[in-house]
Structure 1
Amino acid sequence: MTSEQKRWSLMHVISIMLTFKMVSFEVKGDPQVPCYFIFGDSLVDNGNNNGIASLARANYLPYGIDFPDGPTGRFSNGKTVVDTVTELLGFDAYIPPYANARGRDILSGVNYASAAAGIRDETGQQLGARISFGGQVNNYKNTVSQVVDILGDEDSAANYLRQCIYSVGLGSNDYLNNYFMPNYYQTSRQYTPEQYASVLIQQYSELIRELYNYGARKFVLNGIGQIGCSPSALAQNSPDGSTCVEKINSANKLFNNQLVSLVNNFNNDLQDAKFIYINNYDIFQDLINSPQSYGFTVTNAGCCGVGRNNGQITCLPGQTPCQNRDEHLFWDAFHPTEAANVIVGRRSYRAQSSSDAYPIDISRLVQL
């Protein structure tokens, strides 16, 4: 080969490489928002409980059996709902847990969620240590101080944080590990379901306003799913093991209805912010009503666990789970499989039904 041919060949290779690089960059692009902050419980905890004295931990197999990094603390066989949303928002890595977030990594967001946590501080205390919603908000305030230090001043931090998505998903444990656990808690004797929903929403509202005061402007408020249809509820309170427990679901709907009203109130009162509601209750209703449409064959039993329909307790360390995990709606007594989480995450990001998100979905929220 002549020197001229070699030079042309080299230039051709470089041209192809640059083209591929440009195509790759255009396909991936930057995330749709600079950061994603997550507040919640075991449905979205990705490792914050690993290092605390809690029975609510999932940093062992078979949890994470289908996750690339193995057991991380996620209460699923694989991805959670927020992992799916993280991918759809265009991030190239999952949002780190507060327990591990360091340095400039916090600029892409932080996951503060803690298994067994509730809106009320005492919720989940029978399971040991956990970080309540109030504690998570305090941790976020600490993050904001770090963001100010990294970006140089409060104005720069405020302009940065106002572009980010803030996902809040708490309340399930305030029912499962509080109100409907009368042997441990007084709340069911102190409040009617209507009163309890109002008490929860009041405290929830105060903490949301704290987030607003510390820079949050784009809020995703997640409704409670159908707790009364979980394998745990079915094992303990369903007469036939498959009929959802109405008293639990009715209480959840009271909370969700007030959460929708809260979204409306905040959107009216805080004109420089935007709040949306994700209707997890009806999304799960759809999965339960039409499981075959989504590839599910088992909706009333966990893929692993112990007791009736694997519904009495969560997966034991080293336990062998079912093989057909993508056909199960629930992974363990309380938590959905990755297959279900992916569906919920996709419908949260881009509504499949007009009732999935109110007044808009996440894909439209990021554009504001």
Structure 2
Amino acid sequence: MKLPLTFLLVAASILAAAIDRCDCKVVQFIFGDSLSDVGNNQYLSRSLAKANLPWYGIDFGDGLPNGRYTNGRTVADIIGDAMGLPRPPAFLDPSLTDDVILKNGVNYASGGGGILNETGSLFIQRLCFYKQIELFQATQDVVRAKVGGRAADKFFQSARYVVALGSNDFINNYLMPIYGDSYKYNDQSFISYLVNTLGAQLKLLHSLGARELMVFGLGPMGCIPLQLVLSSTGGCQERVNNLALSFNQATSKLVDGLSKTLPNASFRFGHAYDVVNDVISNPGKYGFSNSNSPCCSFGRIRPALTCVPLSKLCKDRSKYFFWDEYHPSDTANQIIAKELIKKFGFAAINQTEAPSAAPEPAVAPSSDG
């Protein structure tokens, strides 16, 4: 029996729709370092860069360490909540499944990771940006097997992407004499090397479907507590801050150019350098009592580098801009996120579920600091 051509075409369309069907919502894929890590490094057995001890996570959920290098939320957490996006779990979380990926997206950020492969090698194990992209490709294979090629393409092209790396490439690479990059390059040539590498990585993400992509700039790295301790004057290190400013300027130009030249790309660059610098210079203006030392520390023993169970906590964690020697507190991250939301002009994305709730402050021992 010979079937009409029209019937065959309709049947083929119905079959294709059945194969490539996915009632997928908009999710996030996050690439970054310790400022965005939500637990990947906890599953790297040999990593020396972990946030798996108290008092990390003290103001998040049950108050136990969860892989975030702060007392509460990351900047990406807060921005995602404001947009109505689900919080993506760590890629290395053993509970991650294809259904979880389709519902929540994935976070590949890794403490100590950088744009460059060589960055953070002192930490033994960490996921550099190229490795994170490789894991994203593995994620795509899983999703394609689950929902089919066309539905997967739609899913990945409608997703939101966050790229927040760069500080480790300076602090845990170029500015440390044990790394070859510290004597192979000068300030300008290193920034060119770094930004050119980032450009290739962003193009690769675009080829993999990234269309709505946000690149976060660097803050005044020379003013983090660790740099203040290492400074001969006890003040912000001007050279380090200038490196951050130069990186931001070059990356902003890169991102604008890619957004104009890559098909259907909406790549945007946002930095909170100015507001963070203002908070550090005028903490009282923003409700902080301290912007130059960590809330979680060994007191006069500096630098302590990480927060550990024997550390003492400040009386009011909401009044300290820095949580440890490197990372901002939850309250500080709120200010940074608010600034980026304003710069990016973010709008809420319709979802079937409400945004994740903000963490409730937990009770912990405090010192008189």
Q: Which amino acid aligns with 1:166?
A: Y
Of 32, 42, 62, 1:50 maps to 42
- SS of the equivalent of 2:244 reads helix
Q: Is the 8 Å Cα contact of residues 75 and 337 (structure 2) preserved in structure 1?
A: yes
Q: Distance in 2 between matches of 1:115 and 1:306?
A: 22
TM-score for both structures, normalised by structure 1: 0.83
Superposed displacement of residue 362, structure 1? 3.1
Match of 2:32 in 1: 40
- SS of the equivalent of 2:210 reads coil
1:362 aligns with 2:357: no
1:222 aligns with 2:237: no
Q: Which amino acid aligns with 2:28?
A: Y
Q: Is the 8 Å Cα contact of residues 235 and 308 (structure 1) preserved in structure 2?
A: no
Unmatched tracts of structure 1, length 5 or more: 1-31, 352-356
Match of 2:163 in 1: 168
Superposed displacement of residue 307, structure 1? 6.8
Unmatched tracts of structure 2, length 5 or more: 1-23, 351-369
Superposed displacement of residue 306, structure 1? 4.0
Q: 1:4-40, CA deviations, whole angstroms, 9 ceiling, x for partnerless residues?
A: xxxxxxxxxxxxxxxxxxxxxxxxxxxx961111000
Superposed displacement of residue 189, structure 1? 1.3
Superposed displacement of residue 110, structure 1? 0.5
Point out the more displaced range, 279-288 or 197-206.
279-288
Structure 1 238/284 Cα, relative in aligned 2: closer, same or farther at 3 Å? farther
1:71 aligns with 2:65: yes
1:181 aligns with 2:176: yes
Q: Distance in 2 between matches of 1:288 and 1:320?
A: 22
Structure 1 238/85 Cα, relative in aligned 2: closer, same or farther at 3 Å? farther
Q: Map 1:106-145 onto structure 2 (within 5 A).
A: 106-107=101-102, 108-145=104-141
1:98 aligns with 2:124: no
Q: Is the 8 Å Cα contact of residues 256 and 269 (structure 2) preserved in structure 1?
A: no
Match of 1:335 in 2: 327
Q: Distance in 2 between matches of 1:113 and 1:361?
A: 24
Match of 1:246 in 2: 238
Superposed displacement of residue 322, structure 1? 1.3
Q: 1:71-115, CA deviations, whole angstroms, 9 ceiling, x for partnerless residues?
A: 101000111111111211213x52100012222111121000000
Q: Is the 8 Å Cα contact of residues 298 and 311 (structure 2) preserved in structure 1?
A: no
Match of 2:267 in 1: 275
Structure 1 162/209 Cα, relative in aligned 2: closer, same or farther at 3 Å? same
Q: Distance in 2 between matches of 1:67 and 1:318?
A: 20
Q: Which amino acid aligns with 1:72?
A: N
Superposed displacement of residue 305, structure 1? 2.6
1:159 aligns with 2:151: no
Q: Distance in 2 between matches of 1:49 and 1:231?
A: 23
Q: Distance in 2 between matches of 1:318 and 1:312?
A: 11
Q: Distance in 1 between matches of 2:42 and 2:186?
A: 35
Structure 1 220/298 Cα, relative in aligned 2: closer, same or farther at 3 Å? same
Of 314, 321, 324, 2:316 maps to 324
Superposed displacement of residue 160, structure 1? 1.6
Q: Is the 8 Å Cα contact of residues 62 and 318 (structure 1) preserved in structure 2?
A: no
- SS of the equivalent of 1:275 reads strand
Q: Distance in 2 between matches of 1:330 and 1:310?
A: 14
Q: Is the 8 Å Cα contact of residues 263 and 276 (structure 1) preserved in structure 2?
A: yes
Q: Which amino acid aligns with 1:188?
A: S
Q: Is the 8 Å Cα contact of residues 310 and 332 (structure 1) preserved in structure 2?
A: no
Q: Which amino acid aligns with 1:42?
A: S
Q: Is the 8 Å Cα contact of residues 236 and 312 (structure 1) preserved in structure 2?
A: no
* Count, aligned residues: 322
Q: Is the 8 Å Cα contact of residues 303 and 310 (structure 1) preserved in structure 2?
A: no
Match of 1:59 in 2: 52
Higher relative contact order (CA 8 A, sep 6+): 2
Q: Distance in 2 between matches of 1:251 and 1:306?
A: 30
- SS of the equivalent of 2:49 reads coil
Q: Which amino acid aligns with 1:157?
A: A
Q: Distance in 2 between matches of 1:281 and 1:312?
A: 25
Match of 1:8 in 2: none
RMSD: 1.9
Q: Is the 8 Å Cα contact of residues 118 and 171 (structure 1) preserved in structure 2?
A: yes
Q: Distance in 2 between matches of 1:238 and 1:65?
A: 33
Q: Is the 8 Å Cα contact of residues 301 and 309 (structure 1) preserved in structure 2?
A: no
Q: 1:310-339, CA deviations, whole angstroms, 9 ceiling, x for partnerless residues?
A: 544111234231121100000000000000
Q: Distance in 1 between matches of 2:112 and 2:30?
A: 15
Q: 1:36-72, CA deviations, whole angstroms, 9 ceiling, x for partnerless residues?
A: 1100000110100002111110011100111104210
Q: Which amino acid aligns with 1:343?
A: I
Q: 1:217-257, CA deviations, whole angstroms, 9 ceiling, x for partnerless residues?
A: 00100101111000000001150x2x210011111111111
Structure 1 102/310 Cα, relative in aligned 2: closer, same or farther at 3 Å? farther
Q: Distance in 1 between matches of 2:312 and 2:165?
A: 30
